[in-house]
């Protein structure tokens, strides 16, 4: 019985950090895509602004 419990303990030491890493990886991609989308929208907004003469 104790050997079986030790097996699950060792297995959990591998699974829990992997799940945490997977969560960070997913959050990284969500944040990266949000930043890229925001920068793209901002660039589109800049491109649609009327041109003004440069201030010298």
Global model pTM greater than 0.75:
no
19-37 pLDDT, tens digit per residue, is: 999 999 999 999 999 999 9
- Tell me what pLDDT residue 40 has: 96
pLDDT recorded at residue 16: 93
Residues 15/16/22/25 CA torsion (nearest 10 deg)? -140
CB burial string 11-41: b at 16+ within 10 A, e below: eeeeeeeeeeeeeeeeeeeeeeeeeeeeeee
Q: What is the pLDDT of residue 34?
A: 97
Model pLDDT for residues 7-18, shown as the tens digit of each residue: 888 888 889 999
Residue 2's pLDDT is what? 55
Cα of first residue to Cα of last residue in the chain, in angstroms, is 83
């Amino acid at each position: 019985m104790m050997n079986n419990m030790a097996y699950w303990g060792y297995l959990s030491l591998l699974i829990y950090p992997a799940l945490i890493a997977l969560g960070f990886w997913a959050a990284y991609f969500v944040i990266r895509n949000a930043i890229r989308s925001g920068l793209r929208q901002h660039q589109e907004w800049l491109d649609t602004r009327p041109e003004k003469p440069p201030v010298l």
